Structure 1
Amino acid sequence: MTTTPASCDDPWMVTSTPSPGTTDDKLDASPLGVFLVRSAVGLRDRIAMQALVEEESLLSRDQVRKALVTQQDGVMTCRWEGMSGRLYTLELDEGERAFLGLVLSIVGVQQSYLAAVEYLDERRLEIVLRAMIRLAADNDRIAIGTRM
C-alpha cells in the first residue's frame, strides 16, 4: 500500500493506493496514521506513532492533529516538541493526557512518571505496554503473546 498526501493545500487528507500483493490488516487505521507510521524517521518516532494510531481517538481529533502534524518541505511530519508544549491546552481528560504524556516519553521529548498508568483504561494500558516492549526490544516487530 502506498500512502501520499492528497495535496499541499490540505495536509490532513491522505490518499492510499494498495500495492499488488500487499495487505495491512494490522494497520486498520486512518490513511494519515498509516502514512505517519511509515514516514517516521526513527524507531522511537515509529513506536510512538504506532501507539497513537492504535489508540485511534486522539489522532482523530482536529486539535491533536493540528498540534502534532505539520507539513515541512512538502512532507508530512510529526512535531513531537510542539505537542509536548500544548499537552495541557488540548482539553484532554486525565486518561488521555496520561496516555499522550507516556507516548511523548517514548519519543524522548518529555518525561512522564510511570504512575501515570493509573489513569489509563485497560485498552490504553495495553497499547503503552506493547510500545514499551517494542522500545525495550529495540525492534518494532517483536512477537507479543496473546495475553499482552
Structure 2
Amino acid sequence: MSTTEATAPEAPDSDEEFQRLGEQLLRTAKSSRARAAVQALVEERTILAVPAVRRALVIDTLDGAQAHFEALSGRQYGLGLDEGQRAFLHLVLSMVGIGITTLASVEDLDDRRLPIMLRAILRLAGNNDIAVGRRL
C-alpha cells in the first residue's frame, strides 16, 4: 500500500469539516494507542486546527486520510505551537510510543487540556468506568 502526504486545507471550513476529519482519522487509526491519541487531538482541537500540524500529521492512504504520528514527531518544534500545545502534543506522541516524555509533564497542562489527557489515558488503558470531571 502506497502512501503520500495529504494536501490538507489551510484551515477547516467549518466545525462539520473538522468533525469529519476527526472521524476519518479515528476510523483509519491502526491501533488503540493511535485511536486514543487521535481522539485527544480532536478533543483538544487547537493543535489539529493548525495547518502545519495537519500537513505533518495527515497522509492520504487507500483507506482515506490517516494520522502518521512519526512524521509529526520530527516537525514538532517547527509547527508554531505555544508551550501548552507543545506539552500536550508531547504527551500525545508518548501515547503512540514516540519520544521520551515523563508523566510529570502533565503539570504543564492547563485546566482545559488536563481532563482531555486524563480521558485519553483512560481510553489507552481500556477503562470506560472512571469519569473525569470537576469535583464539587
* Residue number in structure 1 paired with 2:30: 41
Q: Identity, % of aligned pairs?
A: 47
105, 119, 124: which is aligned to 2:94? 105
| Matched positions, count | 125
Decide whether the 8 Å contact of 2:26 with 2:38 is kept in 1. yes
Higher helix proportion (structure 1 or 2): 2
1:18-77 residue CA offsets vs partner (Å, 9 max, x unmatched): xxxxxxxxxxx5210111112211100100000000001111111110010011346211
Q: Which runs of 5+ in 1 are unaligned?
A: 1-8, 15-28
Measured in 1, the distance between the counterparts of 2:76 and 2:25 equals 20
Q: Check 1:69–1:146 CA distance in 2 against 1; reply closer, same or farther (3 A cut).
A: closer
Larger relative contact order, structure 1 or 2 (CA cutoff 8 Å, min sep 6): 2
Letter in structure 2 aligned against 1:92: L
SS in 2 for 1:47: helix
Moved over 3 A (4+): 9-14
Decide whether the 8 Å contact of 1:11 with 1:71 is kept in 2. no
* TM-score (structure 2 length as normaliser): 0.80
Decide whether the 8 Å contact of 2:42 with 2:48 is kept in 1. yes
- Note the 1:1-148 alignment, pairs <5 A: 12=9, 30-73=19-62, 75-136=64-125, 138=126, 142-145=128-131, 147=133
Measured in 2, the distance between the counterparts of 1:48 and 1:32 equals 14
SS in 1 for 2:95: helix
* TM-score (structure 1 length as normaliser): 0.74
Letter in structure 1 aligned against 2:21: L
Measured in 1, the distance between the counterparts of 2:21 and 2:32 equals 18
Q: Larger radius of gyration, structure 1 or 2?
A: 1
